[in-house]
Amino acid sequence: MKLYGMTDSGNCYKPRLLFAKLGIPFEHVETSSRDGTTRKPDFLAMNPNGKVPLLELDDGRFIWESNAILLYLAEGTRFLPDDPYERALVHQWLFFEQYSHEPYVAVRRALSRYPERAAQATPERMAAALEGGNRALGVMERQLSQTPFLTGEGLTVADIALYAYTHDAQIGGFDLPRFPAVSAWLARVAQDSGHVPMDSAG
């Protein structure tokens, strides 16, 4: 399989991390959304939404959206439960990641990290992102104070999805030591077999 993505993107890190934990070989194609590559006709023919990550299957079909790629790769593995309720909990946290976590934690990280976005980092926007991100981290803290992983005893794609932008949230100015259960969870995810850092392309 072929994975189009940016090495320094948390959303693109998610499927790379799962590939590594599953021990599945893949080809990484560095593809930037910041230089216009994803808006070119050849890329839009693969993903009309013009974003990465994008997974190309062996048969030439495509899957886009990071969490959809995670769910596809995790099918039939330890990272996605068979039980309907437990599977629903995984989906619950994936939706949480996209709607309550990523818009604040990932966005504040991007505004802090990329010079081309500095003009968008107004005090008001940064404050709102900090507030929203801390609220999301607080929700995770409450759950991870009760269970070792987000859906219970085992690591799932829910953990991988939320690990991606949480593990370097300090880049965006988040004080992770304020969330000891989240910090301990980050260590557990990193200690799981097959783990690779974010700067590993594949």
Q: Give the residue among 59, 77, 78, 57 at the shortest CA–CA distance from 69.
A: 57
Q: How far apart are CA 24 and CA 21, in angstroms?
A: 8
| Every domain range in the chain assigned CATH 3.40.30.10 | 2-74
Q: Is 76 helix (H, G, I), strand (E, B) or coil?
A: coil
- Which pLDDT does position 47 carry in this prediction? 98
Q: Is the pLDDT of residue 55 over 70?
A: yes
Tens of pLDDT, residues 10-23: 999 999 999 999 99
Number of H helices, E strands in the chain: 8, 4
Judging by beta carbons within 10 Å of its beta carbon (0-12, 13-18, 19+), is residue 161 exposed, middle or buried?
buried
Mean local confidence (pLDDT), 82-109: 98
Contacts of 183 (CB under 8 A, 6+ apart): 176, 177
Share of the chain above pLDDT 70, in %: 99
| Every domain range in the chain assigned CATH 1.20.1050.10 | 84-191
User: Which position has the token pair 């803290």?
Assistant: 141
Largest CA distance in the chain: 48
Q: How far apart are CA 95 and CA 34, in angstroms?
A: 25
CATH among 3.30.465.10, 3.40.1410.10, 3.40.50.10440, 1.20.1050.10 for 84-191: 1.20.1050.10
pLDDT band at 125 (very low <50, low <70, confident <90, very high): very high
DSSP H/E element including 4: strand 2-5
- Which pLDDT does position 202 carry in this prediction? 64
Class of domain 2-74: alpha beta
What is the pTM assigned to this prediction?
0.96
- Which pLDDT does position 34 carry in this prediction? 82
Q: Is 63 helix (H, G, I), strand (E, B) or coil?
A: strand
Q: Is the pLDDT of residue 116 over 90?
A: no
Q: Give the residue among 43, 38, 151, 170 at the shortest CA–CA distance from 93.
A: 151
pLDDT band at 85 (very low <50, low <70, confident <90, very high): very high
Q: Is the pLDDT of residue 165 over 80?
A: yes
Mean local confidence (pLDDT), 143-162: 98
Q: Is the pLDDT of residue 59 over 90?
A: yes
